[in-house]
Structure 1
Amino acid sequence: MVDLSDALHRAGVPVRFASALAAACHQYQINTPLRMAAFIGQCSHESGGFRTLNENLNYSAQGLRNTWPSRFPDDATANAYARQPEKIANKVYGGRMGNGPEASGDGWRYHGRGLIQLTGKANYQAAGAALGVDLVANPDLAATPKYAALTAGWYWDTHKLNALADKQDNTAITKAINGSTLGLIDRQRRISDLLEKLQ
């Protein structure tokens, strides 16, 4: 890797993310064109082309019912939370992923941030311990370019996604990141475009 940061910028990664992603690639052995294209392509999709580092929780009532049917089983419940991101986060993430109950505010405090959305107090704690930074006390750090990239690299590494990238199994990578194959076509397009530019 001669100058990965420069190569990433030439491949269309915004300057403010290029050096952060290069550091994450170096730290987590994301060191072949296949691995880099898969990692950065997934990051690009998850962040809307590196435009957002915070999870969008501004759901309509119908969106809440479609996304979390067990938590919003009827219109009355959904309407009470619709278009209130903080309240929504506290309900849907409360009492899970290391978060306290809904009333604790942990759901919002540890909502998704970063290039691969770091979500839940347990993940903030584990990523912070691995990176030597207190993300539990300072969760907004995960929405800065440096830690957005490093937490994405940490997630990639802990889920052993380099091995899937080596096999070009973008479907399995997408499921590991998203829990489904949502956005698979866009992810694959981004990965293919990057692979072409990084080889």
Structure 2
Amino acid sequence: MPPLTVQQLLQILPNARSVAGIFLPALNRAMARYKIDSPVRVAAFLAQVGHESGHLRNLVESLNYSVEALLAKFSRDRISEADAKAYGRTAGCPANQQAIANCVYGGAWGAKSLGNKKPGDGWLYRGRGLIQLTGRANYAAAGTGLALPLEEKPELLEQPEHAAMSAAWWWSTHGLSELADADRFQDIGSVINTGKPGRIPHGAAERKALYDRALKVLA
């Protein structure tokens, strides 16, 4: 299919107006490199990265969680009740986002699941890019795949070119175009959001709405 146009991008992700011109060439290069090259693949990719990044506007994960949200979202082996109360946002106190990241992405869980083995890795390798790449191991793998020093300079994923390319790399290495071809859209979101297919991802309704809109725009 031909390269995506700015008009198509804004029809699919209308809230991206302020950044569409910056991201369009980066998205087209990334999709071409990783063979996200049919309407169904492009629609699925844009829907997922659009949801993950707030329509291309948020390239760094926010951990601005309330105490209640921390306790609901993460298990007690990832954050204790005491730590949630100490670090979470309350009416009179902002969230300690660095401490939250080091807690929920660190410890035994972080070492096993994300390769975060050093103090501070949770914050240093918090979600970045259009698909919110998270964890030292994922940064290292993406760095190898993209020939970028992402372990040493994780902030590179905050640049549009690398944000888009890392998302397409992750998409390709996890076989998500093949899931798109098989009409398994919810499984794509499940893999991105939970690490496994077969689950209902966070934001499933918005992901699907963006996908349906993209299919119409790209038809």
For residues 100-145 of structure 1, give each alpha carbon's deviation from its aligned partner in whole angstroms, at most 9, with x where no partner exists. 24xx111100000011010001100100110011111110111111
Match of residue 55, structure 2, among 49, 62, 67: 49
Is the 1:5–1:22 contact (alpha carbons within 8 Å) kept by the matching residues of 2?
A: no
Provide the residue aligned with 2:16 in structure 1. none
The question of whether the paired residues in 2 share the 8 Å contact of 1:106 and 1:121 is answered with yes
One-letter code aligned to 1:88: I
* Partner Cα distance (1:43, 1:138) in 2: 22
Give aligned pairs, total: 196
Q: Which amino acid aligns with 2:115?
A: G
Partner of 2:115: 98
Alignment correspondent of 2:204: 184
- The 5 A counterparts of 1:79-94 are 79-82=85-88, 83-94=95-106
Matched with 2:79 is 72
- Cα contact 2:4–2:28 (8 A) shared by 1: yes
* Preserved CA contact (<8 Å) 2:12 2:213: no
TM-score with structure 2 length normalisation? Answer: 0.84
Gaps of 5+ in 1: none
Offset from partner CA, 1:143-162 (integer Å, 9 cap, x none): 11111111111111111001
The CA RMSD over aligned residues, in Å, is: 1.6
Corresponding residue for residue 197 of structure 2:
none
For residue 135 of structure 1, the aligned residue among 150, 153, 175 is: 150
Superposed displacement of residue 10, structure 1? 5.6
Q: Provide structure 2 residue ranges, at least 5 long, that are not aligned to the other structure.
A: 14-19, 89-94, 195-199
Match of 1:162 in 2: 177
Q: Who is 2:40 aligned against?
A: 34
